[in-house]
Amino acid sequence: MLENQTMVRFLLAVGVGGRVVLCEVVKDTYFHVTFDNFLTSSDLMEKLCRWNIYARGNVHTNCKELPKLARKKPTLNKGKHKWRSRDHTSYVQWMDTKVVSLLSTAFDP
């Protein structure tokens, strides 16, 4: 990856209850990582944010740590969105042909 930088391998507990090696990263370089709904959780987002790594990923709407908005049937028209934010993590619900839900520490809605 980047030469002359300290590479850090980190393990994070994720929603499926196992331990997953996410990636090798350079801490404090403000990288932006994107992953799918298998790995996405608010705990993971907050841990990465503390290490100055921005992240975003699709999320299943039945996750316990999501806001109530995620569990309600969406009443959005195509192209519209709703969002909620807590600490450094934002939850966004966007209507395409069906609802797209994501968590992000990379953007301010």
Enumerate the domain spans of the chain: 30-104
Q: Which two tokens stand for residue 40?
A: 């996405």
H/E element holding 102? strand 99-104
Contact yes or no for 85/92 (Cβ under 8 A): no
Residue 44: CA count within 13 A, CB half-sphere: 31
Q: What is the spatial distance between Cα 54 and Cα 76, in angstroms, rounded to a whole number?
A: 28
- Among 31-35, 62-66, 86-90, 105-109, which stretch is predicted with the lowest mean pLDDT? 105-109
Q: What is the pLDDT of residues 27-82, one digit of tens each?
A: 777 888 888 887 788 888 888 888 888 889 998 888 788 888 888 888 889 999 98
Of residues 28, 59, 25, the one with CA closest to residue 41 = 59
pTM of the model: 0.73
Report helix, strand and coil shares of the chain as percent, to nearest 5. 10, 40, 50
pLDDT tens figures, 14-32: 544 334 545 555 677 788 8
